[in-house]
Structure 1
């Protein structure tokens, strides 16, 4: 089956008039006879929508009226999670393709009404809503790629003008106590910026030579960590910062080669990450390691008059006994 498909594709490419582009996509286009949807390039090539939002917008546009397009329904249909689908629907709302409002039915039930507009720009310009009738297409018995010979084209039936419907009534607001709003999870927070590679205070020739040899020798201890010359040159400041802080080369080698992911796809990124996040602090000096001086404490003394204990640097009498002697004097 695959061989027949390849042969048919090769024959189709040979029928394309003119030289083929040297790179990029090559279109092999056949006219659709049924089950197709017309999608504008303003949606398919929108520079402000994510790929998930464009795909969901095209999918919603291809569905018949009355189809369920809520977050739960789309999550059950596609592999993307509810967070991604909710974010894509919000994007479509921001750019005018989708609108979700609450309306109260005659029986008092509150429902969410979803309206999808295939051309938000035409809606803002006040264009009339038109119903495009089905197209009558003559399909040849064998489909071929378009060539110099004329190909029958579809002849659309002239659509009858349809009056613009009056604006829908404004839905009655629902009390928050009875119908609390549904909280949609926010988009995934952006990743924090990557931390810069540590730099030594002074990159001396000795530090550069030792760091270069240490990084180039990693593949002897971990065959997965094969670094190019450019990678070694870029990572030299990080290894020099470790050596400047008193780290032994064996300790650096152990930190960079232990418990590697299997298989490591980007060895240089792994070494850069570990040199950055596992950087040890500078070694403390003699003053930091000296024991803290204790505050002198006044010792206890025994009163020579009443044998009461009191704090004083010298032996003698307590406060009460001294007061009695002063009164007697």
Structure 2
């Protein structure tokens, strides 16, 4: 009486086809009739996406058109924090599932549109390769009936010797309109008088000289299949994981690895675990990193400054401390100290520029620049004008 039996689960397991596995998951698949979203296995079982990114992708795919999918909007409905959601969105953007596109509205305002694609691999191929062939199919039937009548007029003059005189004048006018009407098939109606020969089976004869203009439509046939293929609708900007990576920069080396630098660098690396326990190095790692530390010491870097630069804010969990130290020794290498000549250039006195002092005008008390006191320019011009008038 104390143990509750789930009879519904027992009935569902009984309906599973085939023998049940002894280990692993057992799927009880019930069909959905409403409120469901189709998710591809390429997303659900993506080998390079984290489970957080897959879950965020499924949630975005289940939302309606126009729903807010920003970091704060997703954080308001998910238990993950904004940092984990932002990292998941970056993963989806790197693998092509998510795109952020800047667009300009007719009013001139620039907005950012978020586009989610449930199958990004399908956008890498052109989706409209069969639109051009329907057009060249139209001119093809026109030359088809032409060869049929060309074979019929041959036996006609052999079977009836009398009507041979009548078709003779018919081909004479036929070559005249042919060169003049090469550009337009409409004049084909001019040989209308030929129906007079209908009882003698002569109508196919006038059609034979008019047939040569028909091959002209073959020129557009050559140009129709040639149009350039449409540009791909989706061009990934982030290189795929299989793209070749740039070679790593080598570990910095001192100009000369003296015994003093080698001993100081070895002591520094061997003592590093006392200040940061997660940076416990093996003997091989110490020997490999000694030149990098010696290069820092050669550039007048203090041991405590080197220790802070190498061990502050490490990733959690730290799997490869030696690789992290090699990366920081290479990327955070300080510049070489300035030489004696460079410091002398800093101490050299700078050239001084002579500045003209201000003076006060004796007449109008206006300030003006002049090496000697006197009158300003306006007062000098006024005095010159009075002197000329008095003269």
TM-score, length of structure 1 as denominator length: 0.43
Q: TM-score of the superposition, structure 2-length normalised?
A: 0.37
| CA radius of gyration, larger in | 2
Q: Which has the higher contact order (CA 8 A, sep 6+)?
A: 1
* Structure number having the greater helix percentage: 2
